[in-house]
A and B are shown apart, each in its own frame.
Chain A
Amino acid sequence: MTAVHQVLSSAGPYDAVSVQARLWRSLLTERGYGGADHAAAVDPRARGDFAPLERLRPARGDLLVIRWSAYSPRLLRLLERLERKLLVYHNVTPPGYFWNHHPGVAVACAVGRAQLPLFARAADVCAADSEFNAGDLRAAGVADARVLPILFDPARLAERGRAPGGEGPLVLVVSRLAPNKRHDLAIAAFDAWRAEHGGPARMLCVGEPLSPSYAALIGGLANGTVTLAGGLSQPDLNAAYEDADVMLSMSEHEGFSVPLLEAFHFGLPVVARPAGAMPEVGGDAVLWDRADDLAVTAELIDAAVNDDGLRATLAGRGRARLAEYEHAHTAERIEAAIKDALA
């Protein structure tokens, strides 16, 4: 049996890269590949799915799938290994967002961006999960960068957990609590909408914080109607999607944005800035906030919550976008990339 080992710089319970690695592992197992998943740093909550990188023992003929999203010195050792390699690039956030909030993460991002060409040269096949990210690979010297979209599994979205409490329309923000996601702007736009249009309303921000001090910083901006929930289990997140009236993203840098697809699955209208890969993923199914004016953002939220015709149009377009990320189709492309890398 051919073994495919996935390697990450860090693995956690909720982040998009770890979730993708888990979905790939299910697919690989289903298609008869062996192997295991490893990370240079494993969050204790992800230990069931990922082993420390030191335990990686590939055999000749195995494939290493390197998921590149940040620098880790321990990943450098992989470059010396003789096994075939498939590089999957998930984008690295520009370090400028982190220098003042988490210098360690900023360094991992700065070096991660600088070392992309090194890893790209060592790989037999290079792929990115969006055209936007493939642009980075091309800039790193990869002439034949291919796009392997996110493996989207609707089955994960079936189970329902506990719905968020409170009254009034629910504005949902789903993204890691990190500076590039601009929760400060999301909260300001929500506050402006509430102040201008009145009535009860709630905002729920779901996502692991960059650090406890960053969570405290954003928590200081939130009033009683804004809840910072941290990471939620998938069933609880599903219940939040179902209960929400609109999803809001003020993010300034996105390599893909899986929550867009999840919102489409639930027929949830989305108001978002057209950042990074988001226009490519969201297409015409999103209310794009191009105005750079939080008053306009507030009005877009209002339209998304209260205009039933608009909601129906967005839901229909969302379903059409989702069809482009159909699981079986993406699975075929992933397997083709694996076969090419092994060939």
Chain B
Amino acid sequence: MSTPEDAERGAREEAERRRAAGGYAGVGSQGPLDESIVHGAPSRELLAQWAVIEIDTDEILYSTRKGGAPITFLKRILVRLLRQYFVELEARQTRFNIALLERLDALEKKQ
């Protein structure tokens, strides 16, 4: 009977053996989400990306109610009706974000 401790050791050895025989081609430790996860402070590049506020409403508007499709549809209509307001809101926030980033860059250069 193998114990969990034996099985953990055995799994490493078997993976190595199979790799040596050409198995597990392309299998490593990475996953598709790795790059989307932010460890620590976001990079300058990522901040520049986030600075531009542009919201895809189709992606974020939904309802968890039973038969929520008409509610989702209504939410989308409301956002569309208020589009001028939201575009202006996004633009003003983006303006501030970009100006702030430039200011930060200038401060960093001074140091």
Contacts and interface: CB of A to CB of B under 8 A. Distances in A.
Contacts, number: 114
A296 B11 contact: yes
A287 B3 contact: no
A317 B37 contact: no
Contact of A286 (B4, B12, B27, B62): B4
Contact of B33 (A99, A184, A211, A291): A184
Interface string A270-293: 000000000000001111101111
Contact of B2 (A95, A296, A302, A303): A303
Contacts of B32: 184, 188, 221
Interface in B25-47: 27-29, 31-33, 36-40, 42
Given A188-B27, A212-B62, A213-B60, A313 B3 contact: yes
A184 B4 contact: no
Contacts of B15: 291, 293, 295-296, 298-299
| Interface size bracket, A side | 35 or more
Majority secondary structure of chain B interface residues (helix, strand, loop or mixed): loop
Interface stretch (B16-24, B75-83, B86-94, B99-107): B16-24
B14 A299 contact: yes
A188 B31 contact: yes
Given A43-B64, A298-B15, A182 B4 contact: no
Interface in A293-343: 293-296, 298-300, 302-304, 307, 309-310, 312-314, 317
B59 interface: yes
B65 interface: yes
Interface in B41-62: 42, 50, 59-60, 62
Contacts of B24: 192, 196, 295, 298
A223 interface: no
B29 A310 contact: no
B4 A284 contact: yes
A317 B49 CA distance: 49
Contacts of B65: 44-45
Nearest to A188: B31
Interface in A195-235: 196, 211-213, 221
Contacts of B31: 182, 184-185, 188
A65 to B, nearest CB: 25
Interface of B: 1-4, 7-8, 10-12, 14-15, 18-19, 23-24, 27-29, 31-33, 36-40, 42, 50, 59-60, 62, 64-66
20 contacts: A96-B39, A97-B37, A182-B31, A184-B32, A185-B31, A188-B32, A196-B23, A196-B24, A287-B7, A294-B27, A295-B15, A295-B28, A296-B11, A296-B12, A298-B15, A299-B14, A300-B7, A300-B8, A302-B11, A302-B14
Among all A-B residue pairs, the 9 with the closest Cβ atoms: A309-B1, A299-B11, A96-B38, A295-B15, A184-B31, A295-B24, A185-B31, A100-B36, A184-B33
Given A287-B8, A307-B7, A313-B1, 5 more contacts: A100-B36, A196-B23, A295-B18, A295-B19, A295-B23
